[in-house]
Chains A and B, each alone.
Chain A
Amino acid sequence: MDLITAVIILSFLALIFGAILGFASIKFKVEGDPIVDQINDVLPQTQCGQCGYPGCKPYAQAIANGDEINKCPPGGEAGVKALADLLGREIIPLDEERGETGPVTVAYIREDECIGCTKCIQACPVDAILGAPKLMHTVIVDECTGCDLCVEPCPVDCIDMLEVPETISNWKWQQPEMKIDFKEVS
């Protein structure tokens, strides 16, 4: 008899709390970004396609559908970590087949050699190259993501990827060197 009473009481309680939770989930529903947009926000938007998808958004979609989070070399280890944090997944090393995380670069067209073929313009995922047929082209440095995609199509090989130099405006203080290295053992 006691057992039955207990079961009944517990079931009743479960029912009530369930109802409260259900009500709360509807009443206080958080309207967040859909997960794809959140993932896309973390990706560096280089649009380089090194992940095997035609841009960052499609890769974000793929991650949301269960693809690995380590296919973005421009995002680097920090990117993998950010994705892992966002999605609650394991941090895994970067997929080296996709390429290495290098310094940030921008494309530079050696303008004397440019023949004005517009092939690079068509390749640029962010419309950062300016020019017209048979006229010299140039890269809008501020808009270039350093994705590399314009280098290959150029028939005269006049595009270089240059490292973005450190200037006083993007110079950064470093963390102090700990004389006692607490990271040494862990």
Chain B
Amino acid sequence: MERSTFKSEIPIYQIPGGIHPAEHKTESNQAAIQKLPLGKEFTINLKAQAGKRCLPVVSVGDKVLKGQVIAESDGIFSSYQHAPTSGTITAIEKLPIAHPSGMKDLCIRLEADSQDQWCDLKATKKYQELNREQLLARIFEAGIVGLGGASFPSHIKLQRQDGIKTLILNAAECEPYISCDDRLLQEHSKQILEGAMVIAQLYDDIEVIVGIEDNKPKAIQALVDAREACNKKNIKIAVVPTKYPSGGEKQLIQLLTGKEVPKGGLPADLGIVMHNVATCFAIYEAIIEGKPLIKRLVTLTGEGCNQPGNYWVPIGTPIHELVSATNSNRANHYIMGGPMMGFDIQNTEAGIIKATNCVIMNQQNPRDAEMACIRCGACMDACPASLLPQQLYWHAKSDEFEKAEEYDLFDCIECGACAYVCPSNIPLVQYYRYAKSSIRNQRVEKSKADKARERHEARQERLERVKREKAEKHRKAAEARRKAAEAAGQDDAKKAAVAAALARVQAKKKNQKEESS
């Protein structure tokens, strides 16, 4: 594939490991961005972002306009969802979602009225006049999440201000087949840089670096031209050699700064905030045009795709509509995301989500049989996190989760480089995911058990206490009674004594009388 000769404007560091799979980018990055005919039905997944599921604010039968809020953020660590087109809400229920499990989850189904009529938009040409809070609120309300794949709510990422010195725009796009960021840069570099300027305004003094792989010469040229056009000289373009997974957040930071995000920490700990170029474009649209995030650029490609290319797709468009719109009748297997980190779509009813950068349509091929591990270490040489995949595999396979954690299982980014190079065809990532999800479930169970124990102990203690208190009460009552009884007894004694005394006195008198008489 063509390589850019553009010289990186900052020094580039090395990352360990990595692989060079066949790129398959030219299938989709040659044609200009297209639009698909407006679909009839949309299925919007309410748990499509990192964080909490959003809360629907419409009911079945409601008519909504394009861009209208249909689900609100549940607290701060969540996001908004907007209607991708105008139409009627036909269902709010559990529907198939785009998730590796193939399960159903709460979705809103919208039937388009084919008017595609916008609601009122709050465009702001002069975003410079908005303050930090206002900008963040707009980004929040526009439902913007990271479009690189993790769907992390952007307003949360942008919240921390102090110590942030560098904004990195991630345009590396290292996965094979995917070319949506490439194409977006080729056609909309100006808007992307404008979006980056919006982000830059949130910080006092920030340096902007665009990190891009050298297999996107046209996009690099477009960036250079756009920078020239909008006179943003302080933006630096960093060209990194094409290698998977250089577009991983941690890897790109290492490539551009030579620093590593500390374990358990965030890029912000290094004074860095990173956003995908598509997110910058979404922020541009949200602030300057007032449009919420209701569409995204998706690469439709794969051997089974008849019209590969990049398309603007409204969020919630079911996969089968993408298949029929591109006449991809030869395909029977659909991958959401790239071939390295994507997942199988099990139900094409599922709608695309904000993180869907690519749908690969191809024919299902049976995998080669898994053979014994010969400990060749090819996986270790490919691991960008410097883990020992062969040891992780060994422990994950035999359910020795503690050992796997000791070998830093949770530092694995699941990039798949190890499984790609394995001569024994071992699905290593699946073993790691199995171990990770088992450990997570065990932790949940453990904390539940701990809570149950505490509650049980508290209850035991309460019962004891109640019993004790009851006993105490009884005892006190008894004592009171006894005292009362005693008191009563003493009265009697006094009376008796008095009576006795009186009797004695009387007897004396009688005696005296008898004596005297």
A residues whose Cβ falls under 8 Å from a Cβ of B: 40, 43-47, 55-57, 125-128, 142-143, 145, 166-168, 170-176, 178-180
Contact = CB atoms under 8 A, between A and B. Distances in A.
A63 to B, nearest CB: 16
> What is the predominant secondary structure among interface residues of chain B facing chain A?
helix
Nearest to A178: B370
B452 A126 contact: yes
B312 to A, nearest CB: 28
A179 B445 CA distance: 31
B452 A179 contact: no
A125 B441 CA distance: 23
B57 interface: no
B444 interface: yes
Interface of B: 47, 97, 99-101, 103, 105, 369-372, 396-397, 426-427, 430-431, 433-434, 436-438, 441, 444-445, 448-453, 455-460
> Which of the listed residues A43, A45, A55, A125 has the most CB atoms from chain B within 10 Å of its own CB?
A45
Contacts of A179: 369-370
A170 B444 contact: yes
B456 A176 contact: no
A172 B441 contact: yes
Nearest to A144: B452
A143 B433 contact: no
List the 3 shortest-distance A-B pairs measured between CB atoms, nearest first: A179-B369, A173-B433, A45-B449
B101 A168 contact: yes
Nearest to B430: A176
B449 A44 contact: yes
Contacts of B372: 180
A88 B372 CA distance: 31
Contact of A56 (B100, B105, B433, B453): B453
Contacts of B433: 173
A145 B444 CA distance: 13
B455 A143 contact: yes
B459 A171 contact: no
> Which of the listed residues A143, A172, A174 has the most CB atoms from chain B within 10 Å of its own CB?
A172
Contacts of A44: 445, 449
Contact of A170 (B430, B434, B441, B449): B441
Given A167-B105, A175-B430, A47 B441 contact: no
A167 B103 contact: yes
Contacts of A174: 434
Contacts of B458: 127
Contacts of B444: 170
Given A44-B449, A166-B103, A179-B369, A172 B456 contact: no
B41 to A, nearest CB: 22
Nearest to A44: B449
Contacts of B97: 168
A45 B453 contact: yes
A72 B459 CA distance: 21
Given A143-B452, A175-B397, 9 more contacts: A44-B449, A55-B456, A167-B103, A168-B47, A171-B103, A173-B100, A173-B430, A175-B431, A176-B430
Contacts of B441: 170, 172
Nearest to B425: A179
> What is the predominant secondary structure among interface residues of chain A facing chain B?
loop
Contact of B370 (A126, A166, A172, A176): A176
B459 A168 contact: no
> Which of the listed residues B369, B444, B449 has the most CB atoms from chain A within 10 Å of its own CB?
B449
Given A45-B456, A47-B452, A143-B452, A180 B437 contact: no
B456 A143 contact: no
Given A126-B459, A175-B434, A143 B451 contact: yes
A127 B461 CA distance: 12
A127 B430 contact: no
A168 B418 CA distance: 26
A40 B437 contact: no
A174 B435 CA distance: 9
Contact of B437 (A47, A143, A173): A173
B430 A168 contact: no
14 contacts: A43-B449, A45-B449, A47-B452, A57-B457, A127-B459, A143-B455, A166-B103, A167-B103, A168-B103, A170-B444, A174-B434, A176-B427, A176-B431, A176-B434
A174 B432 CA distance: 10
Contacts of B101: 168, 171
B105 A168 contact: yes
B456 A125 contact: yes
Contacts of A143: 451-452, 455
Given A56-B453, A125-B459, A171 B437 contact: yes
Contacts of A167: 103, 105
A171 B434 CA distance: 10
B304 to A, nearest CB: 25
Nearest to B462: A127
Contacts of B426: 176
A42 B97 CA distance: 36
Contact of B434 (A40, A127, A172): A172
B453 A127 contact: no
A24 B433 CA distance: 43
A56 B397 contact: no
A128 B430 contact: no
A132 to B, nearest CB: 16
A127 B397 contact: no
Contact of A173 (B47, B105, B397, B434): B434
Given A171-B103, A171-B437, A40 B369 contact: no
A47 B456 contact: yes
A128 B448 CA distance: 13
Given A55-B456, A125-B456, A180 B103 contact: no
Nearest to B97: A168
